[in-house]
Structure 1
């Protein structure tokens, strides 16, 4: 079985203002990273609003939809913008994660990667922030639990920024282990070890700026992999942010593409190798291409 890659041209319709780091050009970098890797491509279907409502209230969904401008941009917070094509893009990201979960749970593939935007892990229950509109990966987890009837899933978020939105959406969900490794201190300021979730099912792993790949490996071996082994998830979802790379302009964890290769391989040791990954951050285009190449190459190898 080949790794499934879900994407769609609609993601190019989410246009951000000049100079914004979460820009359309990221998609070309992702495609550069995918070049030469044997993948099965599928289009992200339109997401259903009922899937969004698994995590966000109807009033919030309506508010985002009503804020989409006819031209130019609407600003939802200090760095989160809507363009005329942004709502379709966000809904295609939701559709992509749901389709990827469906395919992996059904056994059509063992691994999948959703190359969508805008990202999702900062979107809280009723708050768009940090470039994010809807909690894409959290929605995928809820689909696995509520639609497919899985009993235990896990989300691992290795974006350099804490996945505050996913944590908010999964805080009371006792069937989902949420793990976030992230630079601290850094935006959004959450992600302390003491933040444990309503059922003790949240694991935050703060890392110091400049700590590099050695600290990454030590922390995952000591904290994350034992938690996953104990949890025994039936499906693992990954918030794949590549902005911890040494060349990324927004942070300073100093990871390399090889670190993403190692981490992806180790994550595929869990959940019987059933892994659904979704793009989050990564803002240096060359580093993004190299990191995606490392990540998806391992998903392809382990998905055979």
Structure 2
């Protein structure tokens, strides 16, 4: 990572932290101006983050998906942009109350403990199956994060209602439940496409390839099954309630662990 990229990412990290604190302060003290300043901090953070990643590409000469820095960065940028747009143009509120801390800790992880796809050659980027796999999986993970945020908001509001309290700053249960279902459905479609394209590339790319029993591939299945179970129960069986939201939370945490912790195992084709 170049020094210029580190500087820009450090500024973005600070802005994400400021945005998260402002959103939290607004939530606790109900100061409307703090939410607006938090929104601006996140918007500036996203812009500076994008410039930093662009500089990383230009100055380092590395491929766009040669390590987790650009992948996680695109997840953060896309997730925050979607959250900002939804807050401004829909009734879905307070998504960024959860997305801002996720963005902060995600970028902090990249700066402190960068994980590289060691052994991956640029030949991996020359096949269309892999390109579709990376793009679709990226969009799927963004949707998982948004579904996680909506499900967490639902559980918080549901708990308050059971205690005889109502938080007017959080969306209604119906709104949060609808947002969770829609985010989960769209992200599941993208994630399924990405998973399928990755398997096609795995068995079709010549030269350097992945071990057939690669841990990262099999670790994607629990997330897929958890979201599939949620969509089956919610969409086909018509089930409702807080228990379903825990499937979303478990699926997102599993997908995040697979993305951040588990590495691919590349071998050379003799």
Question: How high is the TM-score relative to the length of structure 1?
Answer: 0.31
Relative contact order, higher structure (CA 8 A, sep 6+): 1
* Structure with the larger strand share: 1
* Structure with the larger helix share: 2
Question: How high is the TM-score relative to the length of structure 2?
Answer: 0.34
